[in-house]
Amino acid sequence: MEQNNTVTEFILLGLTQDPMKKKMVFVIFFIFYVGTVVGNLLIIVTVKSSRTLGSPMYFFLFYLSLADSCFSTSTAPRLIVDTLSSQRTISYNECMTQVFAMHFFGSMEVFVLILMAIDRYVAICKPLHYPTIMRRQVCIILIILAWIGAFIHSLAELLPALKLPFCGPNLINHYCCDLQPLLKLACMDTYTINLEWVSNSGSICAGSFLFLIISYTVILHSLRNHSAEGRKKALSTCITHIIVVVLFFGPCVFIYARPQTTFPVDKMVSVFYTIGTPFLNPFIYTLRNAEVKNAMRKLCHITNTSESKG
């Protein structure tokens, strides 16, 4: 419903107006974004090419890395470019596209983390039935359902945003287009729409976080019946997943599971889960996972051997 708006573009105020700080922001987040893309791409290529990483856990890790890369790409390039530009404008259509992309890939990451928790639960608590329950066809169906769920969630976020009338001002006090900053600019009572968004994004964030914490609590409790070696290996994997869950869901719950209020720290909290967490995930999964590190070494060795022969 863009034709009902007098605003055809928005101005993103970004993280800072200070010229020196903008240069620092550019350097820091350029490094973060390149690291995110390279790190997650390395995991994607490693999982895809390695025969030893064929289990469901690495199948889901492949899609988590894909979601991480796309999620960060939905915000980081705009933030990086805007630090060097004097005209930090974003068109109405680009703004709405960013809203959809952020929530699509963000919710995809949520659903993949849930699938990874389910996989660990079955592997540790139902080991004899694991090959049957988590067979390849089931994993593919679960990922398809995750994509569908992410699309439905994002559409439910986007459609109310498209109905918002904007008649000025057009200054978004953020580094990206998101729901709460847009609500502050709408020329209408946004109480009902805000409740819809909180019930949608807030319930997904808080509900998924609670589900994951309960799941890993059950898993850790069941490890007492395992051998010392099996308990050590399973504990290492679960701790890795728990770290990722806390780093991602903590900021998400803070931003989305609350009424229509804004705080000065909102932008920095958003930076952490949209750019920081996707950057940290490859390091968390590789540094604490011997199988992934070994597969990466083999991949590098094969690549170097092929180049030397060429």
> What pLDDT digit, counting tens, does each position of 179-221 carry?
888 888 888 888 888 888 888 888 888 899 999 999 999 988 8
Instruction: Retrieve residue 37's tokens.
Output: 């893309």
pLDDT of residue 309: 63
State which residues of the chain have pLDDT below 50: 1-3
**Residue 158 and residue 100 in contact, taking contact as beta carbons nearer than 8 Å:** yes
Instruction: Retrieve residue 246's tokens.
Output: 């806390």
Which is nearest to 109 in space by CA: 297, 284, 274? 274
Helix (H, G, I), strand (E, B) or coil at 263: coil
- Distance between CA 29 and CA 79 in Å, rounded? 8
CA 148 to chain centroid, in Å, comes to 16
- Computed on alpha carbons and rounded to an integer, the radius of gyration of the chain in Å comes to 21
**Residue 202 and residue 257 in contact, taking contact as beta carbons nearer than 8 Å:** yes
- Distance between CA 262 and CA 180 in Å, rounded? 8
**Where do the H-state alpha helices sit in 163-273?**
179-183, 191-197, 203-222, 228-256, 266-271
Cα dist from 294 to 42, 43, 60, whole Å = 13, 12, 19
β partners of residue 11: 89, 171
pLDDT tens digits, one per residue of 249-275 = 988 888 888 776 677 788 888 888 889
- Distance between CA 93 and CA 8 in Å, rounded? 8
| Full set of structural domains in the chain with CATH | 2-309 (1.20.1070.10)
pTM > 0.75: yes
pLDDT of residue 140: 96
Helices and strands (H, E) in the chain, number of each type: 13, 3
pLDDT of residue 214: 92
Question: How far apart are the two ends of the chain, measured CA to CA in Å?
Answer: 57
Contacts of 141 (CB under 8 A, 6+ apart): none
Angle at 185 between CA 254 and CA 263, to 5 degrees: 30
Contacts of 43 (CB under 8 A, 6+ apart): 61, 62, 65, 282, 285, 286, 292
